[in-house]
Amino acid sequence: MQKLVVSQKGDGDFTTIQAAIDAVRVFPLEPVTITVKEGIYEEIITVPENKPNISIIGAGKNKTIISGSKYARMKNENGIEIGTFETAVFHAFADLFQLEHLTVQNVAGYGDEIGQALALYAAGDKCMFKNVRLLGNQDTLYTSKGRHYFSHCYIEGHVDFIFGSGVSVFEDCTIHSLRKGYITAASTSEENEFGFCFIKCKLTGAQEAADVYLGRPWRPFAHTVFINTWMDQHIHPHGWDNWRNEENEKTARYLEFGSTGPGSNSSERVTWAKSLTEEQAANYTLENIFHSKDTWLPK
């Protein structure tokens, strides 16, 4: 295994994270571990598609912080707004990527003059994120494709702050809403049985948060499920929103099982969302969710 160290104090191999990634050969012959020491790294980072099997490990969620400020309304050198997908602080495009023990934050803020501002753009397959904090407002986390496992992570945002068409499991994670909005905006493809799966998570809200929906479908056939998840009082009694399109109610796959907490009351949930039976909920294992074109078990 190749091991590299990043330190702003100069006692490592590199002083920036991107420099360490750039130094990895294309299609490395062995797994690469990049250890990032304590510090605030003001960088826009890309792990390209042709550099799989890289692990980036920080010194702790509150010690190693990757910070950037890009937003959709920002204009490029031609005076054109850069748009949602150019705003990410961290781009993880490679397969078999791991990110652990650090924070990625987009500090652009929120509002109409800001728009979307991503912290993490994940597009690789078989990617793992452990003990990571993702901080943003609108569109904090974009999982565009591939399979992703988030364990013991903290994800914070405002509107549609977990979105995309990836097959993503969030286990033992805290999902924190900053104000009124929507947690998820899945765009799961029709042929994918699974989309966003939240298992044993906690849904918390800031004091300003109220009437927060569990999700709204960015595309037809959106799939989002919450299993054995604790929900605070900021969750809207209806649970789910159709994104101003009743046709979405026919295709959206919105499911709950074993919800607890002040926001878990199912009596007022929308009629087009479903409660899983115990037998159906038992089908939501990592083996089943991540077994598609091949077998992958992140644990």
Token look-up 């037998």 returns 279
Q: What is the DSSP letter of 98?
A: E
Q: Which of 56, 71, 80 is nearest to 112 (CA)?
A: 71
Which residue in 112, 139, 172, 232 is the catalytic one?
139
Whether 160 sits among the annotated catalytic residues: the reply is yes
Q: What are phi and psi of 78, to 5 degrees?
A: -95, 5
Q: Which of 138, 195, 124 is nearest to 164 (CA)?
A: 195
d(C-alpha 243, C-alpha 239), whole Å: 13
- Token duo for residue 57: 């490990």
Q: What are phi and psi of 96, to 5 degrees?
A: 55, 35
Amino acid at 197: C
* Residue 74 burial by Cβ neighbours in a 10 Å radius (0-12, 13-18, 19+): middle
Q: Which of 251, 252, 250, 246 is nearest to 214 (CA)?
A: 252
Non-local (6+) Cβ contacts of 9 within 8 A are 37, 39
SS3 35: strand
Which residue in 160, 211, 232, 241 is the catalytic one?
160
d(C-alpha 136, C-alpha 70), whole Å: 11
CB 255 within 8 A of CB 226: yes
Q: Which residues are part of the catalytic machinery? A: 139, 160
